A and B are shown apart, each in its own frame.
Chain A
Amino acid sequence: MSFVSRGFRGRRREDVDSSRVPPGQYVTADYPVLSAGPTPHTPLDQWDFSIVGEVDEPRSWTWDEFRALPSEDITRDIHCVTKWTKLDTVWEGISVDTLLDGVKTAAEYVIQFSDGGYTTNLPLDDVTGSKAWVVFGYDSEPLEAEHGGPARMLVPHLYFWKSAKWLRGLRLQTDDEPGFWEVNGYHNYGDPWQEQRYWGD
């Protein structure tokens, strides 16, 4: 018999499909913010996006060039390691497949890098095959700076810290390299369905 918290009944959400809520998460209608420092504000005329590292030829786009790439609408559930889950979030952005189209690489890992110095690491396979996007729109509006605008990563199958805000590019690497939260106690991969929140999970 596992432990029971005396007097705790909880408040089950009857309106939520529990199969969409990973273990330890709760559904929120709000859009909370998690970041480690101040929000950067890079003017669009100084913004660019680049693919660097283990590639045959680095790529770079200005804001206008980036926005001219084919984009799509994406509706997904997102899960933050701080316990909230938000269902059916609606984004507009560019598939990472589009950004990497034609790139020759032997890399197996990708490092997202952002304004403010934030980085987060993933296996390359986790951002290809229609699993990840660079998004600039949320709920039919431009993405607010507080939530990562002008552009952020969206990797909805992993905890949301794996979706870097204020994204400026992707660095492809043959070796893995733990990013900002990953060296600060958080799991290297971050699968919410395995509840991989912290080191050792």
Chain B
Amino acid sequence: MAGAALLGRLTWQLAGVVDVVTETPRVKTIVFDVPEWLGHRAGQHVDIRLTAEDGYRAERSYSIASAPDGTRIALTVERLDDGEVSPYLTDELRAGDRIELRGPVGGYFVWEPGQGGPLFLVAGGSGIAPLMAMLRLRAAAGSDVDARLLFSSRSWNEIIYRDELERLRDDGVVVAHTLTRSQPAGWSGYTRRVDREMLAEVGAGPEHEPHVYVCGPTAFVEVVAEDLVGLGHEPRAIRTERFGATGG
């Protein structure tokens, strides 16, 4: 963070698309190579700028989903059918394309292994992206910090990073899914919206003073943060990031 500040303005950079990965029917991960990238902290975001031939521009912000890894960064984007930017990113972009971006941005919704734990992450849908950066960093750093993820998705097929999350279990991460709309046969996990009881069952309790990160749609974050405070977590220990499903 300080490093970026000392270098002055976050300038627009041309990033090359290296890969486009289908995560779910509505979500893709786009991997960029950013030649001038100076690194980032888990939880930060970038701004994307698209320019049409007549000079018309649109900008949006997206969380970085990858752990720091040289000049590579990955953004995980949910396609919003009435959006202006997300359908371009998910449907149009392919390897070899270039895009303008600048970042990293944000110094609050971040976690580093040095902060320790326990770590309690609560994600709704594509809100998993910045939290995944934290889990990936934990793994890459060989950290054994107590880490637990409560992840709300609509259905089994809409669980972003499903296989990778299974592998993270081997690394000691507790992963609990709730599927709020439909469940596969034999599903034994949660089937309801995240509530206070679920948060108490999955996460480290307030007596363990976990670092709590919540990311998802506004209404989801509002309810989860309220429930966490109700359980006795310090409001200042709860960091939130919200996105409205609007215009993106």
Q: Which residues of A are in contact with B by a Cβ distance under 8 Å?
A: 2-12, 23-26, 28, 30, 32-40, 82-84, 116-117, 146, 180-181, 183-185, 197-201
Residues of B within 8 A of A117 (CB): 236
B18 an interface residue at 8 Å Cβ cutoff? Answer: no
* B92 & A34 in contact (Cβ 8 Å cutoff): no
Residues of A within 8 A of B222 (CB): 33, 39, 146
A184-B106, A198-B9 given. 16 additional CB < 8 A pairs? Answer: A3-B98, A4-B51, A5-B50, A5-B88, A5-B100, A6-B97, A8-B92, A10-B57, A33-B222, A36-B108, A84-B244, A146-B218, A180-B108, A184-B1, A185-B4, A185-B5
CB-CB contacts of B221-236 with A at 8 A, as 1s and 0s?
A: 0100110110000011
CB-CB contacts of B149-178 with A at 8 A, as 1s and 0s?
A: 000000000000000000000000000000
* B108 & A184 in contact (Cβ 8 Å cutoff): yes
* A10 & B52 in contact (Cβ 8 Å cutoff): yes
Quick check: which of B31-39, B58-66, B125-133, B188-196 contacts chain A, the rest being far away? B58-66
Q: How far is the CA of A85 from the CA of B4 in the complex (A)?
A: 27
* B92 & A7 in contact (Cβ 8 Å cutoff): yes
Residues of B within 8 A of A23 (CB): 57
Contact of A12 with B229 at beta-carbon distance under 8 Å, contacts A33-B218, A33-B242, A38-B240 already known:
no
> Which of B14, B97, B244 has the largest number of chain A CB atoms within 10 A?
B244
B53 an interface residue at 8 Å Cβ cutoff? Answer: yes
* B108 & A84 in contact (Cβ 8 Å cutoff): no
Chain B residues bordering chain A, tally (CB within 8 A): 49
Q: Could you jot down 21 A-B contacts, CB within 8 Å?
A: A2-B51, A2-B55, A3-B51, A3-B100, A5-B100, A7-B88, A8-B50, A10-B57, A32-B218, A33-B222, A34-B242, A38-B225, A40-B235, A117-B236, A146-B218, A183-B107, A184-B108, A185-B5, A198-B9, A199-B8, A200-B9
Q: Within residues 204 to 248 of chain B, which ones have a CB less than 8 A from any CB in chain A? A: 218, 222, 225-226, 228-229, 235-236, 238-240, 242-244, 246-247
* A4 & B52 in contact (Cβ 8 Å cutoff): yes
B10 an interface residue at 8 Å Cβ cutoff? Answer: yes
* A200 & B10 in contact (Cβ 8 Å cutoff): yes
**One of B5, B84, B235 near A37 (C-beta < 8 A):** B235
Shortest C-beta distance, A10 to chain B (Å), equals 5
* B51 & A5 in contact (Cβ 8 Å cutoff): yes
Q: How far is the CA of A29 from the CA of B184 in the complex (A)?
A: 37
B202 an interface residue at 8 Å Cβ cutoff? Answer: no
* B226 & A84 in contact (Cβ 8 Å cutoff): no
Residues of B within 8 A of A39 (CB): 222, 225-226
* A185 & B1 in contact (Cβ 8 Å cutoff): yes
Contact of A3 with B14 at beta-carbon distance under 8 Å, contacts A30-B244, A37-B225, A146-B222 already known:
yes
* B242 & A8 in contact (Cβ 8 Å cutoff): no
Shortest C-beta distance, B235 to chain A (Å), equals 5
Residues of A within 8 A of B246 (CB): 28, 30, 32, 84
**One of A10, A12, A34, A82 near B50 (C-beta < 8 A):** A10
Q: How far is the CA of A183 from the CA of B47 in the complex (A)?
A: 19
Residues of A within 8 A of B47 (CB): 24, 197
* A26 & B56 in contact (Cβ 8 Å cutoff): no
Shortest C-beta distance, A145 to chain B (Å), equals 9
A-B CB proximity, top 3 nearest: A32-B244, A200-B9, A184-B107
* B226 & A38 in contact (Cβ 8 Å cutoff): yes
CB-CB contacts of B67-88 with A at 8 A, as 1s and 0s?
A: 0000000000000000010001
Closest to B108 in A: A184
Residues of B within 8 A of A185 (CB): 1, 4-5, 105-107
Shortest C-beta distance, A180 to chain B (Å), equals 8
B139 an interface residue at 8 Å Cβ cutoff? Answer: no
Contact of A35 with B107 at beta-carbon distance under 8 Å, contacts A8-B52, A199-B5, A201-B9 already known:
no
Shortest C-beta distance, A190 to chain B (Å), equals 14
* A199 & B4 in contact (Cβ 8 Å cutoff): yes
B198 an interface residue at 8 Å Cβ cutoff? Answer: no
Residues of B within 8 A of A183 (CB): 107
* A12 & B56 in contact (Cβ 8 Å cutoff): yes
Closest to B53 in A: A4
